[in-house]
Structure 1
């Protein structure tokens, strides 16, 4: 475990250097991802929605959408014969502040399971912990107010220690603290066993490649399957 965490810090340190220089990585904007079906606008009234709301990691930066981890989750759901559609609402460069603005539009469609994957870009920019926590809490509040039965899963993230040990520890703690406070499920670290592994990332050393996304999908599935288990049995 110690080896993995250290590699993750190396991986995230590279991200921070690129983010601070403004030359790429999570700073690059791209079109918002679409639902993972060609006829996505024609949703069955009985079909449930799993929505992934995040940044370039969710959007599958550098890959075809069917190779990104949300699409791999759709494949797992289909294999189990469950009546769920996965919607990839990832947007590269997204922060918790911009996400908090965009989420109102995203929530115009009914959501049954909402995976919230934001915060990484906040940490890389040194945004105050209080601001990140506030934005994440407001997004959670909006989801719960709009759809009381929606299951929320929060994706945890880590940052390198170059912002200082206090900031690094406080940032890491935001995610489990919010998960406990709101009684929602937590993915401890989205990039576990992927960050810092060159063979699992694209040449930029930042974004997972196809093999890396497979592992990210497993990290997500470990938590998501607990929600889906009753329907799969």
Structure 2
């Protein structure tokens, strides 16, 4: 079922602009991308239930140790609680919704108990047609459900700066609640709430969260995960 929206964070233009370089990591070398799109845990074959984080550089933990990114912190919290789950970090720097849809099959070789979808930010920053972004998100959810009907899905909402115009920016924000409602999945209103635009919580590029920033992102995400478990 959809979560009850907490109310989206009202970002200042300066805060939103700090996100505008999110897609800069799209030019990363393939070897670096391969490193980021790896499992948080080494035991690939396991009887434990899987939690799959599927997204871009935010999920991948760009610029920090993957164990310190919010996906890695999720594994740490689960272990501390004695919960028998295995977290896989399927983040890839520069990823778009179209790219995610194309590489999804590889990550669906094993059934995920919980699927956290964090994509779309790079679409918005590149001015990709809104209908395409929405359709790709819908298609990703459909593909997961077609193969694993019992998998629980969480959609992480994103916001973009007004570089493409205020109308585009607002319509982009509306994509996430619309997709969550149409597909009846849980929605995190804004993944970077409390982090975006704060220099103390982002790397020197002003884009990607620091370890401290990822701790806040984790605290934003964890209640939704905990509820599904």
TM-score > 0.5 by shorter chain: yes
1:43 to 2:65 alignment: no
Question: Can you give the 5+ residue segments of structure 1 that lack an aligned partner in the other structure?
Answer: 229-233
Over 4 Å off, 4+ runs: none
How far apart, CA to CA, are the structure 1 residues paired with 2:103 and 2:117? 13
CA contact (8 A) 1:26 1:55 kept: no
The answer (yes or no) to whether the contact 1:200–1:208 under 8 Å persists in 2 is yes
1:6 matched to 2:7? The reply is no
Distance 1:64 1:103 in 2: 24
- Please give the per-residue CA displacement for 1:80-100, whole angstroms capped at 9, x wherever unaligned: 211110000100010000001
Return closer, same or farther for 1:18/1:172 CA change in 2, 3 Å cut-off.
closer
Q: Report SS of the residue matched to 1:5.
A: coil
What's the offset of the Cα at 1:120?
0.2
| Pairing 1:201–2:198 present | no
Q: Is the 8 A contact 2:51 2:114 kept in 1?
A: yes
The CA deviation at 1:6 is 2.5
Instruction: Assess, with a 3 A threshold, how the Cα gap between structure 1 residues 17 and 215 changes in structure 2: closer, same or farther.
Output: closer
Aligned residue number for residue 228 of structure 2: 227
8 A Cα contact 2:51 2:113, kept in partner: yes
Aligned partner of 1:16 among 8, 12, 20: 20
Q: Give SS of 1:186's match.
A: strand
**How far 1:77 moved relative to its partner?**
1.1
CA change 1:216–1:27 in 2 (3 A) is farther
Is the counterpart of residue 97 in structure 1 residue 98 in structure 2?
yes
Structure 2 SS opposite 1:168: helix
Q: CA deviation at 1:79?
A: 1.8
Structure 2: distance between partners of 1:64 and 1:222:
23
Q: Distance in 2 between matches of 1:77 and 1:57?
A: 20
Match of 2:37 among 30, 33, 36: 33
Name the Cα RMSD after superposition: 1.9
CA contact (8 A) 1:11 1:205 kept: no
Aligned length: 220
| CA 1:170–1:74: 2 relative to 1, 3 Å | same
Following TM superposition, by how much is the alpha carbon of 1:25 offset from its aligned partner in structure 2, in angstroms?
3.6
Aligned mates of 2:62, 2:22 — CA distance in 1: 15
5+ residue gaps, structure 2? 1-5
1:47-196 map, 5 Å: 47-196=48-197
| SS state at 1:112 partner | strand
TM-score by length of 1: 0.89
TM-score, with normalisation over the residues of structure 2? 0.90
Contact 2:18 2:196 in 1 (8 A): no
